[in-house]
Chains A and B, each alone.
Chain A
Amino acid sequence: MFDRMNLQVLANHARGAAENMAHTLHRTAHSAFVKETEDFTVMLLNRKGETFAVPMDLGATWYPGLTFGRAIEMIEDYKPGDVGFTNDAYSSYVATHTPDTVLWRPVFYDGEIIAWTGGHIHNTDMGGAVPASLSRALTEIHQEGLRFPPMKLVNEGVFDEHLMRIMSINVRKPDLNVGDLKALVGALITGERKILAMIEKFGKDAFLDGVEALLDHSEAQARDVLASIPDGTWDFSDYADEDSTEANPVRLKLKLTVKGDEAILDFTGSDPQLASSLNVPTGGDPRHSVLLVGIYYILYTLNPKLLLNVGMTRPFTCITPEGSVLNPVHPAAIGMRSLTCARLRSVIFGAFSQAIPERLPAAPAGNNCIVNVMTTDERTKRTVIAAVNPVVGGGGGMPHRDGTNGSGADAAYLKNTPIEITETETPVEFVRYGLAKDSGGAGRWRGGLATEMAFRVFAPDSRITARNRDRSFFRPWGVLGGKAAGLSDMVVNPGTDDERHLGNIDTALLQPGDVLEIHSAGGGGRGHPFDREPWRVLRDVERQYVSVDAAEREYGVVLRGGQIDEAATAARRADRAMVEGHFDYGPERTGYEAQWTPEAYDQLHCILNSLPIHWRFFIKTEIFRRMEGRSGAAGVQEAFDAVCKRFPEVPRTDNTLKAAAE
Chain B
Amino acid sequence: MDGAFTPDANEKRPADWKIGVDIGGTFMDFCALEANSGRVASLKVLTTPDDPGAELMTGLSLLAEREGLEPEAVNRFVHGTTVGINTIIQRKGASLALFTNAGFEDVVEMARLRMPEMYSLFCARPDPLITRDMIFGIPARLRSDGTETQAPDMAAVAAAVDVARAKGAEGIIISFLHAWRDARQEAAVKAEIARLAPELFTFTSAEVWPVIREYERSSTTIMNGYVHPRVAGYLTALESRLANHKVPARPMLTKSNGGLMNAAEGKRSCVNMLLSGTASGVIGAAWLARQAGEEKILTLDIGGTSADFALIIDGEAQFGTGELIGEFPLYIPSVSVSSIGVGGGSIASVDSQGVLRVGPESAGSIPGPACYGRGGTEATVTDAMAVCGWLGHSQMAYGQLQMEVDLAREVISRLAAKLGRSTEETAQAILDVAISEMFVEVEKLSSRAGVDLRDFTLMPFGGGGPMLGVFLAKELGMARVMASRRPGVVSALGGLVADLRGDFIRTIFEPLEPATLAALGAAYDDLASEGRDWLVSQGHDGPAELRITADMRYAGQSYEIEVALNVAWLTEKNLTAIAQAFHDTHDRIYDFHDPEGLIEVVNLRLAAIGAGPALKFPEAAEVEGAATPLREVRVFTGGRLQDIGLYRRQDLAPGGIFDGPAVVAQEDTTFAIPAGTRASVDRHLNLHLTFAE
Please report A residues at the B interface, Cβ cutoff 8 Å.
Answer: 4-9, 12-13, 15-17, 19-24, 27-28, 30, 32, 35-36, 56-57, 61, 179, 186, 190, 194, 197, 217, 220-221, 224, 296-298, 300-301, 304-305, 308, 349, 360-361, 364, 390, 392, 395-396, 398, 401, 404-410, 412-421, 423-424, 429-435, 451, 539, 542-545
Q: State the majority secondary structure of interface residues on B.
A: loop
Query: Across the A-B interface, how many residue pairs have beta carbons closer than 8 Å?
Result: 211
| Chain B residues with CB below 8 A from A7, complex form | 355-356
Task: Count chain B CB atoms within 10 A of each CB in A19, A304, A398 and give the residue with the most.
Answer: A19
B439 A412 Cβ-Cβ under 8 A: no
A543 B114 Cβ-Cβ under 8 A: no
Cβ of B3 under 8 Å from chain A: no
Contact mask B157-198 → A, CB, 8 Å, 1/0?
000000000000000000001101000000000000000000
| Chain A residues with CB below 8 A from B429, complex form | 5-6, 9
Given contacts A12-B436, A28-B591, contact A416 B113 (CB under 8 A): yes
B124 A13 Cβ-Cβ under 8 A: no
Please report B residues at the A interface, Cβ cutoff 8 Å.
Answer: 103-107, 109-110, 112-115, 117-125, 131-133, 143-144, 177-178, 180, 212-216, 351-358, 419, 421, 425-426, 429, 432-433, 436-437, 439-440, 442-444, 446-448, 450, 477, 509, 556-559, 589-592
Q: Whole-angstrom distance between the alpha carbons of A298 and B118 in the complex? A: 12
Given contacts A32-B556, A301-B120, A301-B122, contact A412 B115 (CB under 8 A): yes
A435 B106 Cβ-Cβ under 8 A: yes
Q: Whole-angstrom distance between the alpha carbons of A434 and B357 in the complex? A: 42
Q: Whole-angstrom distance between the alpha carbons of A435 and B107 in the complex? A: 9
Q: List 14 A-B contacts (CB under 8 A).
A: A5-B425, A12-B439, A19-B443, A20-B443, A23-B444, A179-B592, A300-B119, A412-B120, A413-B118, A414-B113, A416-B110, A421-B558, A435-B109, A542-B133
Q: How far is the CB of A56 from chain B (nearest CB, A)?
A: 8
Smallest CB-CB separation from A213: which chain B residue? B355
Q: Whole-angstrom distance between the alpha carbons of A434 and B353 in the complex? A: 45
Given contacts A19-B443, A412-B118, A420-B212, contact A4 B355 (CB under 8 A): yes
Given contacts A197-B477, A433-B104, contact A401 B124 (CB under 8 A): yes
Beyond the given pairs A412-B123, A419-B214, 9 more chain A to chain B contacts, judged by CB atoms under 8 angstroms and listed by A's residue number, are A20-B444, A23-B444, A23-B447, A301-B120, A304-B120, A305-B357, A416-B113, A434-B107, A539-B133
Given contacts A35-B559, A304-B120, contact A419 B133 (CB under 8 A): no
| Chain A residues with CB below 8 A from B117, complex form | 304, 412
| Chain B residues with CB below 8 A from A301, complex form | 119-122
Given contacts A433-B106, A434-B103, contact A305 B421 (CB under 8 A): no
Kindly identify which residue among B113, B121, B351, B448 contacts A410, using a CB–CB cutoff of 8 Å: B121
Kindly identify which residue among B113, B351, B442, B447 contacts A392, using a CB–CB cutoff of 8 Å: B113
Q: Whole-angstrom distance between the alpha carbons of A179 and B586 in the complex? A: 14
B447 A19 Cβ-Cβ under 8 A: yes
B131 A543 Cβ-Cβ under 8 A: yes
A420 B114 Cβ-Cβ under 8 A: no
Kindly identify which residue among A186, A413, A545 contacts B132, using a CB–CB cutoff of 8 Å: A545
Q: Whole-angstrom distance between the alpha carbons of A361 and B106 in the complex? A: 24
| Chain B residues with CB below 8 A from A406, complex form | 106, 109-110, 113
Q: Whole-angstrom distance between the alpha carbons of A581 and B39 in the complex? A: 79
B113 A390 Cβ-Cβ under 8 A: yes
Given contacts A24-B447, A301-B121, A361-B121, contact A415 B114 (CB under 8 A): yes
A28 B419 Cβ-Cβ under 8 A: no
A9 B436 Cβ-Cβ under 8 A: yes
Smallest CB-CB separation from A182: which chain B residue? B592
B123 A404 Cβ-Cβ under 8 A: yes
B356 A409 Cβ-Cβ under 8 A: no
Given contacts A433-B106, A545-B132, contact A27 B351 (CB under 8 A): no
Task: Count chain B CB atoms within 10 A of each CB in A56, A392, A398 and give the residue with the most.
Answer: A56
Q: Whole-angstrom distance between the alpha carbons of A360 and B431 in the complex? A: 36
A5 B353 Cβ-Cβ under 8 A: no
Kindly identify which residue among B119, B124, B216, B558 contacts A308, using a CB–CB cutoff of 8 Å: B119
Kindly identify which residue among B112, B442, B556 contacts A416, using a CB–CB cutoff of 8 Å: B112
Smallest CB-CB separation from A22: which chain B residue? B447
Smallest CB-CB separation from A306: which chain B residue? B119
| Chain A residues with CB below 8 A from B119, complex form | 56, 61, 296-297, 300-301, 308
B356 A8 Cβ-Cβ under 8 A: yes
Smallest CB-CB separation from B121: which chain A residue? A301
Smallest CB-CB separation from A220: which chain B residue? B353
A6 B432 Cβ-Cβ under 8 A: yes
Q: Whole-angstrom distance between the alpha carbons of A60 and B112 in the complex? A: 17
A433 B357 Cβ-Cβ under 8 A: no
| Chain A residues with CB below 8 A from B357, complex form | 8, 305
B122 A398 Cβ-Cβ under 8 A: yes
Q: How far is the CB of B82 from chain A (nearest CB, A)?
A: 27
Kindly identify which residue among A27, A179, A414 contacts B450, using a CB–CB cutoff of 8 Å: A27
Given contacts A8-B433, A12-B439, A20-B443, contact A418 B450 (CB under 8 A): no
Q: Whole-angstrom distance between the alpha carbons of A19 and B591 in the complex? A: 18
Q: Whole-angstrom distance between the alpha carbons of A220 and B351 in the complex? A: 12
| Chain B residues with CB below 8 A from A57, complex form | 444
| Chain B residues with CB below 8 A from A414, complex form | 113-114
| Chain A residues with CB below 8 A from B216, complex form | 418
| Chain A residues with CB below 8 A from B131, complex form | 543
| Chain A residues with CB below 8 A from B509, complex form | 424
A418 B213 Cβ-Cβ under 8 A: yes
Q: How far is the CB of A432 from chain B (nearest CB, A)?
A: 4
Task: Count chain B CB atoms within 10 A of each CB in A5, A24, A186, A364 and give the residue with the most.
Answer: A5
B436 A418 Cβ-Cβ under 8 A: no
B109 A409 Cβ-Cβ under 8 A: no
Q: Whole-angstrom distance between the alpha carbons of A433 and B356 in the complex? A: 47
Q: Whole-angstrom distance between the alpha carbons of A32 and B60 in the complex? A: 55
Smallest CB-CB separation from B439: which chain A residue? A16
| Chain B residues with CB below 8 A from A197, complex form | 477
Q: Whole-angstrom distance between the alpha carbons of A433 and B215 in the complex? A: 12
Q: How far is the CB of A454 from chain B (nearest CB, A)?
A: 8
| Chain B residues with CB below 8 A from A16, complex form | 436, 439-440, 442-444
Kindly identify which residue among B107, B125, B132, B354 contacts A404, using a CB–CB cutoff of 8 Å: B125
B104 A432 Cβ-Cβ under 8 A: yes
A5 B121 Cβ-Cβ under 8 A: no
| Chain B residues with CB below 8 A from A412, complex form | 114-115, 117-118, 120, 123
Q: Whole-angstrom distance between the alpha carbons of A305 and B353 in the complex? A: 12
- 9 smallest CB-CB distances across A and B, nearest first, come from A434-B106, A12-B436, A23-B447, A543-B132, A16-B443, A300-B119, A412-B115, A542-B133, A424-B144
A415 B106 Cβ-Cβ under 8 A: no
Q: Whole-angstrom distance between the alpha carbons of A295 and B114 in the complex? A: 21
Q: How far is the CB of A461 from chain B (nearest CB, A)?
A: 22
Q: How far is the CB of B203 from chain A (nearest CB, A)?
A: 19
| Chain A residues with CB below 8 A from B425, complex form | 5
Q: How far is the CB of B86 from chain A (nearest CB, A)?
A: 25
| Chain B residues with CB below 8 A from A429, complex form | 143
